[in-house]
Amino acid sequence: MRLLPVVVTVSLTVALAYYVYIPLPDAIQEPWKLMMLDAGFRTTMHLASLKSWLGFDHYITSIRRSSDGFEGMMKGLSSSESGAGGVMPGVKVSDITFAGVPVRVYEPPAGGEGHLRRGLMFFHGGGWALGSAKKGSYDTINQMLSDELNTVVVSVEYRMYPEVHFPVPYLDCLAAAKHFLSPEVQARYAVDPERVAVAGDSAGGNLAAAVAQEISIDDTMSVKFSVQALIYPVLQALDFNTPSYLQNQNIPILYRHLMVRFWLQYLGADLSLQSQLLANNHSSLHLSNITPELRARVDWTVLLPPKHKKNYRPLIVEKGSQGAGKEVPGLLDVRASPLLAGPEVLAKCPRAYILTCEYDVLRDDGLMYARRLQDAGVTVTHEHYVDGFHGCFTFITWPMEFDVGKRALRGYLNWLQNNL
């Protein structure tokens, strides 16, 4: 009988290790920390799906509640560890609305009379369904930016799935951006109209790119964004078989199937179409509305450098599901897929900073956009982290801090310091 507790303990330990362990590339540093983080995220997803199946709650709502609890616990641990909450004491934080859209405004310590400050509008990531402008690393990063760069930062709390889907999040961000860029608001916050940026990570990078495009071609706007900073942005939904989607399909924390699910949710499509999109059946050659010109704008065989194409081959479907393409509204809308914008639009876009990570399904979206912007005559700074993975930019606080995340954040801040 004495062996029973030992057997049970060993069995549970092996089961836990089996659940947590996933093979990771050697280049990823601190692999076990990433495995633990991913295991926690997967567990949250599984429990949320179970609750949804049992009829208790929508699974996204459950994930949000779990995330809020986790962030509260981590904030308490971080405060105990550091002795402080990480708040920049000189930064004024206000929760207000811009054109009816909730925003959090960060104002740096007041400077001398007549000194204008930089301005930056930020859109958070989270698959257009998760995350918040007011919580976690986003709050910390924007306070740091405001303090270090003497910048008025506006972080937008746009509406998300399941409450809404495309184009509502985009329209919220666009409305807030136009309000921020108005001469009256620029004057109120003492922002230099020649030094205003738009930025975002992941789904927020998608929104930042789309808003930057729209503002750049809007002749009614007297003030426009000076630069755009896109952190591993998601930019297209036509090809889910790019080299980065295939190479990194099982690398945490953004799996290939999960990114497809986020797209279906955002575009208000049936989630049962996931397998069709994974097989590129939604963008087959027999769909006449996807013209050769549009296909060329996401042609990674031309747009990617050889070192990222490697030995992958494009998945071109001759005749896929006729319904798949038609049942995904907004699939070809440039407001949802900024990589589909024409060269005449890209040529008017502001200077760009694009951050990509080697072990990220979205790597090639960012690489292709950098190339297309450069081909259109836009100055682009591209920073690629060979040991980076999706989400690392926000993993900068104890206990889930990663060295690559801190380097990525510092690179972003340094570029804005020198270019905004």
Q: Which of 14-18, 57-61, 144-148, 222-226 has the lowest mean pLDDT?
A: 14-18
Position 123 in a domain? yes
pLDDT top residue among 320 and 57: 57
Position 47 in a domain? no
> Which residue, chain included where needed, has tokens 């982290």?
385
How far apart, in whole angstroms, are the C-alpha atoms of residue 406 and residue 417?
16
Task: Provide the pLDDT for residue 287.
Answer: 86
pTM: 0.93
Q: What is the pLDDT of residues 106-129, one digit of tens each?
A: 999 875 445 899 999 999 999 999
Position 345 in a domain? yes
Q: What is the pLDDT of residues 34-54, one digit of tens each?
A: 989 888 888 888 788 888 788
Tokens linked to 179 = 């309000």
How far apart, in whole angstroms, are the C-alpha atoms of residue 386 and residue 407?
12
pLDDT of 346 over the 80 cut = yes
Q: Structural domain tally of the chain?
A: 1
The DSSP secondary structure of 316-333, one letter per residue, reads --SS--HHHHHTSTTTT-
Domain extent, residue 411, equals 86-332+339-420
Annotated catalytic residues are 202, 360, 390
Task: Provide the pLDDT for residue 153.
Answer: 98
Q: Which of 18-32, 270-284, 337-351, 370-384 has the lowest mean pLDDT?
A: 18-32
Cβ partners under 8 Å of residue 270, min gap 6: 264, 327
Cite the beta strand spans of 208-335 per DSSP E.
227-231
Per-residue confidence band for 92, with pLDDT thresholds at 50, 70 and 90:
very high
- To the nearest whole number, what is the mean pLDDT of the chain? 90
Task: Provide the pLDDT for residue 288.
Answer: 82
Task: Provide the pLDDT for residue 66.
Answer: 75
Q: State the Cα torsion 8-12-14-20 to the nearest 10°.
A: 180
Task: Provide the pLDDT for residue 79.
Answer: 46
Task: Provide the pLDDT for residue 413.
Answer: 98
CB-CB neighbours of 2 under 10 Å: 5
pLDDT of 80 over the 60 cut = no
What does the pLDDT average to over 263-280? 96
Q: What is the pLDDT of residues 286-324, one digit of tens each?
A: 888 899 999 999 999 999 999 999 999 999 898 866 666
Position 382 in a domain? yes
Share of the chain above pLDDT 90, in %: 74
> Quick one: DSSP state of residue 249?
T
Q: Are strands 227-231 and 351-359 parallel, antiparallel or unpaired?
A: parallel
Cβ partners under 8 Å of residue 252, min gap 6: 22, 34, 35, 37, 38, 41, 389, 390
pLDDT of 1 over the 60 cut = no
Task: Provide the pLDDT for residue 11.
Answer: 55
How far apart, in whole angstroms, are the C-alpha atoms of residue 217 and residue 212?
9
- Residue 232 near residue 366 (C-beta atoms within 8 A): yes
Position 347 in a domain? yes
What does the pLDDT average to over 392-403? 90
Tokens linked to 17 = 């290790």
How far apart, in whole angstroms, are the C-alpha atoms of residue 116 and residue 126?
33
Task: Provide the pLDDT for residue 336.
Answer: 98
Backbone angles phi and psi of 308, in degrees to 5: -100, -20
The DSSP secondary structure of 50-61, one letter per residue, reads HHHHTTSS-HHH
Q: State the Cα torsion 235-103-147-93 to the nearest 10°.
A: -160
Task: Provide the pLDDT for residue 327.
Answer: 80
Task: Provide the pLDDT for residue 69.
Answer: 59
What does the pLDDT average to over 171-179? 98
* CATH at residue 186: 3.40.50.1820
- Residue 184 near residue 218 (C-beta atoms within 8 A): no
Cβ partners under 8 Å of residue 199, min gap 6: 120, 121, 122, 123, 205, 208, 228, 229, 230, 231, 412
Measured in residues, the chain has a length of 420
Task: Provide the pLDDT for residue 19.
Answer: 81
Position 309 in a domain? yes
Q: Which of 168-177, 306-315, 325-334, 410-419 has the lowest mean pLDDT?
A: 325-334
pLDDT top residue among 140 and 49: 140
What does the pLDDT average to over 218-245? 97
Q: Are strands 191-201 and 151-156 parallel, antiparallel or unpaired?
A: unpaired
Position 278 in a domain? yes
Task: Provide the pLDDT for residue 59.
Answer: 79
Per-residue confidence band for 87, with pLDDT thresholds at 50, 70 and 90:
low
Tokens linked to 131 = 């995350």
Q: If 0-12 CB within 10 Å is exposed, 13-18 middle and 19+ buried, where does residue 214 land?
A: buried
Position 149 in a domain? yes
